[in-house]
């Protein structure tokens, strides 16, 4: 327990709280700016298990704010979940880390939710957040929302049955609009959001849920603005995710969008409906013999066609870079996969 001694000295956690933390399993969806910070804090804090899920791979433009990743990860295009796992195991080899390289959908999440104690938001889009929100309410698991763009950040802890959910909040608060694509982001914004997310995680995981923040917090670090909003009254009895006649609409959606323009980049993701795994080695051979230059690693293939870079993952997805046009992306995808 020596490695956790300073955390145990902190009276609100103590030995009892540490024992609780060491039995807990947190699921972090999205291992980008937010997820790399919260996963590092929880690995260092000594949780039993972390499940980390991400659909993307490491790029140079991530290194400015995404802890855990190195230049080598970016050069090798290592999937974020695998790169994070590698680093987290170096930090704390006692923590069990499950890395999943995939686009999270209802079926995937419901298949792994059984012993999860906490859901943490590391995503960059509201579609996936609504999925987490529904999952939290269906399985009665606390969900820590976080979001940041530019110098502006927000955080809120959702306790099913007590607080309003993300759907309730969205009807009253202007949460959407800007993306890191349009206004960029600075690292301290990430650190402030994840400080809020991580302390809430420590409260929940150490058995101190009564200490959870009851207000919705938002701030602008550059403008020195800090707002703490009472959110309890925003709970909507008719809400389909947390209300009296809930249907969990986002979990039911068969598989959400097949083609998505990704936040922060000129990139379109294509996910085939069948979700058949790709045989990367066979594809690489086929494309090489057709004259294409093919790169990649054990998890993905990278190919350039007519000046556009396309990256294929084992699970059948592809990222088409250099475009925001879904139709154009789909055309290039089908020209390579058939
Ligand atoms: Zn609700």
Beta bridge partners of 26: 50, 118
- Helices 187-205 and 14-21, packing angle to 10 deg: 100
Distance 205 CA to ligand 1 centre (A): 23
Q: What is the largest CA-CA distance in the chain?
A: 65
Strands 294-296 and 300-305: antiparallel
Span 47-80, pLDDT tens digits: 999 999 999 999 999 999 999 999 999 999 999 9
Beta bridge partners of 152: 149, 220
pLDDT of residue 110: 95
pLDDT for 263 beyond 80:
no
pLDDT (mean) for 158-180: 79
Distance 108 CA to ligand 1 centre (A): 23
Distance 13 CA to ligand 1 centre (A): 31
Distance 227 CA to ligand 1 centre (A): 22
pLDDT for 333 beyond 60:
yes
Distance 240 CA to ligand 1 centre (A): 7
pLDDT (mean) for 220-244: 93
pLDDT for 235 beyond 60:
yes
Higher pLDDT, 260 or 233: 233
Distance 203 CA to ligand 1 centre (A): 23
Domains detected in the chain: 2-251 (3.40.50.720), 257-337 (3.30.310.10)
pLDDT for 279 beyond 80:
yes
Distance 109 CA to ligand 1 centre (A): 20
The values of phi and psi at residue 117, to 5°, are -100, -20
pLDDT of residue 171: 73
Would you state the torsion angle of the CA atoms of residues 176, 180, 182, 187, taken in this order, to the nearest 10 degrees? 130
How does the average pLDDT of the chain come out, rounded? 90
Span 181-207, pLDDT tens digits: 557 899 999 999 999 999 999 999 999
Q: For residue 254, what pLDDT band results from cuts at 50, 70 and 90?
A: low
The string of DSSP letters for 93-153 reads TTSEEEEEES---HHHHHHH-TT--EEEE--SSHHHHHHHHHHHHHHT--EEEEEEEBTEE
Distance 246 CA to ligand 1 centre (A): 9
pLDDT of residue 26: 98
pLDDT of residue 338: 66
pLDDT of residue 3: 96
pLDDT (mean) for 5-13: 97
Q: Among the residues of 1-116, which ranges form H helices?
A: 5-9, 14-21, 33-45, 71-75, 80-91, 106-112
Q: For residue 35, what pLDDT band results from cuts at 50, 70 and 90?
A: very high
Higher pLDDT, 126 or 276: 126
Distance 172 CA to ligand 1 centre (A): 11
Distance 211 CA to ligand 1 centre (A): 22
pLDDT for 34 beyond 80:
yes
- CB neighbourhood size of 71 (10 A): 10
Distance 168 CA to ligand 1 centre (A): 4
Rounded CA gap, 48 and 44, in Å? 11
Distance 251 CA to ligand 1 centre (A): 14
Q: CB-side exposure of 301: number of CA atoms within 13 Å?
A: 26
Q: For residue 170, what pLDDT band results from cuts at 50, 70 and 90?
A: confident
pLDDT (mean) for 120-130: 89
pLDDT for 5 beyond 90:
yes
pLDDT (mean) for 250-265: 70
pLDDT for 262 beyond 60:
yes
pLDDT of residue 336: 82
Structure tokens at 150: 């530019």
pTM for the model stands at: 0.84
Distance 75 CA to ligand 1 centre (A): 42
Distance 239 CA to ligand 1 centre (A): 5
């Amino acid at each position: 327990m020596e490695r956790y001694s300073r955390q145990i000295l902190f009276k609100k956690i103590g030995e009892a709280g540490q024992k609780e933390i060491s039995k807990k399993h947190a699921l972090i969806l999205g291992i980008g700016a937010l997820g790399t910070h919260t996963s590092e804090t929880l690995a260092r804090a000594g949780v039993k298990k972390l499940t980390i899920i991400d659909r993307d791979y490491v790029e140079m433009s991530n290194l400015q704010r995404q802890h855990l990743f190195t230049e080598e990860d970016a050069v090798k295009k290592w999937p974020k979940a695998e790169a994070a796992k590698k680093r987290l195991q170096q930090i704390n080899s006692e923590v069990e880390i499950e890395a999943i390289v995939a686009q999270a959908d209802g079926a995937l999440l419901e298949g792994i939710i059984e012993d999860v104690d906490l859901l943490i938001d590391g995503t960059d889009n509201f579609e996936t957040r609504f999925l987490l929100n529904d999952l939290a309410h269906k399985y009665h698991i606390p969900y820590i929302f976080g979001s940041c763009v530019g110098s502006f950040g927000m955080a809120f802890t959702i306790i099913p049955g007590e607080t309003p959910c993300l759907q309730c909040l969205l009807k009253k608060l202007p949460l959407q609009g800007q993306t890191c694509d349009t206004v960029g982001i600075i690292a301290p914004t990430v650190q402030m959001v994840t400080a809020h997310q991580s302390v809430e995680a420590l409260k929940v995981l150490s058995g101190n849920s009564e200490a959870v923040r009851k207000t919705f917090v938002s701030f602008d670090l550059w403008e020195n603005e800090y707002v703490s909003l009472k959110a309890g009254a925003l709970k909507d009895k008719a809400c389909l995710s947390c209300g009296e006649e809930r249907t969990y609409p986002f979990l039911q959606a068969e598989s959400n969008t097949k083609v998505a323009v990704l936040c922060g980049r000129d990139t379109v993701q294509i996910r085939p409906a069948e979700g058949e795994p790709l045989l990367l080695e066979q594809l690489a051979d086929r494309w090489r013999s057709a004259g294409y230059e093919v790169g990649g690693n054990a998890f993905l293939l990278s190919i350039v066609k007519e000046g556009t870079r396309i990256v294929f993952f084992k699970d059948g997805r592809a990222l088409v870079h250099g475009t925001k046009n879904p139709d154009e992306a789909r055309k290039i995808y089908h020209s390579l996969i058939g």
